[in-house]
Amino acid sequence: MDLRQLNALVAVSESGSFSAAADVLHTVQSNVSTHVARLERELGAQLIDRNGCQLTEEGQAVVDRARRIAGELEAIRTDVAAIRHEVVGTVRLGLIGTTARWLVPLLLGRMAERHPKVHLIVVDATSTSLEPQLASGTLDLAVVNLPIPPTATDLTAGPLFDEDLVLVVDPDHPLAKKKRVTMADLDGMALLLPAPGTAFRMEIDDASKAAAVTIVPRAELDGVRLMASLTFEGHGPAILPATALPAWLRDRWQLVMVDGLPRRKVGIAQRRRGLPGAPARALIAVLQEVIAENLSDREGLHPPT
């Protein structure tokens, strides 16, 4: 087994065909086919279904490992460069949508100033989408809701900040005139809710259970930004993180504090195995720095508990 074989398999899985993989690798199709066939013989398993050029179960397992190997090789190069006092390389960062909106502009400016030779790739998605991408090696780091699910055994995470959860309603809603309500005021109310099983939904469910109230799902959605968009389009009130409501919409929607709701915990996740490369470590340091500098200026954000 060698790197050329692994690279060929990954290229086929990502490009969708042997010919396209050859273009990506700047070689001919026969070379790609040979590398994949040798890898299959060595492992004693078919890795690609030639009919649809899709990975088999065994092939997916090999590709997941191959991506991690590629990440470690890149980390070797970047670590050596960092020892020479120059952080160079690429970092693939995933962020949950509402956090990305205010955090990415701060990151771009500070990274350009501090580490101009680090190329940042940002993926905006939900925690449930980012976590498997991080585990497979597609991402280097991810800013996600905490806690990490027990099933994500390959991941570890540290806290970045806590965020108030608030009820967002239109000005005509019966609760719009109140600055603060209790969980009892939400009993029987139809709300746009996070998808079951997500960290965000579990926080709301735990608070509802503790207060002995029932919240009716108007719809269940995997994605805070989608929930916010639907709320702002008039499809129903929702419990949202404080940063989900941008400043230019504050005069059109009412934020109501709810006693009994916990704060959302947001953290930075990475793979448990393997040391992040120098660019990823530099990004983590800058991320923590800009968050610490800006927490006091943003309503609803707090240092992590």
**CATH number assigned to the domain comprising residue 291:** 3.40.190.10
Residue 49 lies in a domain: yes
pLDDT at 70 > cutoff 90: no
Domain edge (last residue) among 25, 41, 68? 68
For the residues of the chain, what is the DSSP string, one character each? --HHHHHHHHHHHHHSSHHHHHHHHTS-HHHHHHHHHHHHHHHTS--EETTTTEE-HHHHHHHHHHHHHHHHHHHHHHHHHHHTT---EEEEEEE-HHHHHHHHHHHHHHHHHH-TTEEEEEEE--HHHHHHHHHHTS-SEEEEEESPPTT-TTEEEEEEEEE-EEEEE-TTSTTTT-SEEEGGGGTT-EEEEEPTTSHHHHHHHHHHHHTT---EEEEEES-HHHHHHHHHTTS--EEEEGGGS-GGGTTTSEEEEEETPPPEEEEEEEESSSPPPHHHHHHHHHHHHHHHHHGGGSTTEE---
Is the residue at 23 inside a domain? yes
CATH number at residue 24: 1.10.10.10
Find the mean pLDDT for residues 134-138.
88
pLDDT, one tens digit per residue, over 250-305 is 778 888 999 999 999 999 999 987 778 888 999 999 999 999 999 888 888 999 98
In a domain, 41, yes or no: yes
pLDDT of residue 257: 92
Helix 29-43, helix 3-15: angle, nearest 10: 110
Number of structural domains found in the chain: 3
pTM of the model: 0.71
What is the residue-averaged pLDDT of the chain? 89
Residues 256 and 270 in one domain: no
Q: In the structure, what pLDDT confidence band is assigned to residue 83 with cuts at 50, 70 and 90?
A: low
Residues 181 and 248 grouped into a single domain: yes
151 with 270, same domain: the answer is yes
Examine the domain organization and report whether 148 and 180 are in the same domain. no
Same structural domain, 258 and 271: no
Listed residues 41, 68, 95: the one ending a domain: 68
Domain of 245, CATH number, reads 3.40.190.290
Q: Are residues 121 and 242 in the same domain?
A: no
pLDDT at 82: 66
Q: Which domain range does residue 223 map to?
A: 165-262
Please report whether residue 275 resides in a domain.
yes
Q: What is the DSSP string of 250-265?
A: TTTSEEEEEETPPPEE
